[in-house]
Amino acid sequence: AQRVTQPEKLLSVFKGAPVELKCNYSYSGSPELFWYVQYSRQRLQLLLRHISRESIKGFTADLNKGETSFHLKKPFAQEEDSAMYYCALKQGGSYIPTFGRGTSLIVHP
Amino acid sequence: GAVVSQHPSWVICKSGTSVKIECRSLDFQATTMFWYRQFPKQSLMLMATSNEGSKATYEQGVEKDKFLINHASLTLSTLTVTSAHPEDSSFYICSAIDIRRGRNYEQYFGPGTRLTVT
């Protein structure tokens, strides 16, 4: 069975500092990895997916199959980045992602 | 992007009563809707998957007689919490997709419904 691990419940950084939200997964097949974000009092929304290889709001994430990781990174954090971030995995043939427990990112001014 | 709404956004009910939560896809047809439960500062727990016109598929450990799900149309799914108890108090989130658009189609989430059982 697939599993998504986000080891940090809370990550606190200052504005302008680099940020890395960790995500590790366990899945025997070829996974699809995603990052979702939930800003305060807003709905969950897709931030980025590994197949797109895109940068959204300055965030990037690279799938490392050797380390089974999909860490989310941003070189310079902004206050508006404060939110809950969820890493998610979809196994082949499924429409349903499995979510990690989430990491709360707080960016201090 | 597509919009998914939920109603009500917040509901308080007495223990033993039932409460219905609606999930609507406003500008697209949702062949499949998902119901999640989210505890404070914790992950989303998938409760069930509903496909339009058929019975919902419940995840292990979720009581189907307690959490009744109906997906009668391509734009509406309802979750009814029957005989609610305080431990059912939670944040319930629905999401919707149109699987006819392919596996890469994005899953859109509703804003959630806060249920408080007193």
Give tens-digit pLDDT for A31-80.
889 999 999 888 999 999 888 878 889 999 989 989 999 999 999 999 99
Strand, coil or helix: A52: helix
Q: Is the pLDDT of residue B51 over 70?
A: yes
- Give which of A10, A102, A23, A27 is closest to A70, Cα–Cα: A23
Q: Do B103 and A96 touch (CB under 8 A)?
A: no
Q: Which helix (H) or strand (E) holds A38?
A: strand A32-38
Q: Is the pLDDT of residue B66 over 90?
A: yes
From chain A, the residues in CB contact with B97 under 8 A are: 95
Q: Do A42 and B111 touch (CB under 8 A)?
A: yes
pLDDT of B44: 85
CB B34 within 8 A of CB A96: yes
Q: Do B41 and A43 touch (CB under 8 A)?
A: no
pLDDT of B103: 52
Bridge-based pairing state of the strands A83-90 and A32-38: antiparallel
Number of CB atoms found within 10 A of residue B73's CB:
13
- Residue B104: band (very low, low, confident or very high) from pLDDT cuts 50, 70, 90: low
Mean pLDDT of chain B: 90
Work out the percent of chain A whose per-residue pLDDT is above 90. Answer: 69
CB A106 within 8 A of CB A82: yes
Structure tokens given for B74: 């391509």
Which range scores top for mean pLDDT: A5-19, A32-46, A93-107, B49-63? A5-19
* pLDDT tens for each residue of B12-40: 999 999 999 999 999 888 888 999 999 87
Mean pLDDT of B45-58: 90
Q: Is the pLDDT of residue B105 over 70?
A: no
Nearest chain B CA: its distance from A55 CA (Å): 17
Give the distance, in angstroms, between the CA of residue B14 and the centroid of all CA atoms in the same chain: 20
Q: Which of residues 43-102 of B touch A (CB under 8 A)?
A: 43-44, 46, 49, 93, 95, 97, 99
Structure tokens given for B88: 């059912």
DSSP secondary structure letters along B93-115: EEEEE-GGG-TTSPPEE---EEE
- Residue A96: band (very low, low, confident or very high) from pLDDT cuts 50, 70, 90: confident
CB A71 within 8 A of CB A20: yes
Q: Does A5 touch chain B (CB under 8 A)?
A: no
Q: Is the pLDDT of residue A92 over 90?
A: no
Q: Does A100 touch chain B (CB under 8 A)?
A: yes
CB A103 within 8 A of CB A19: no
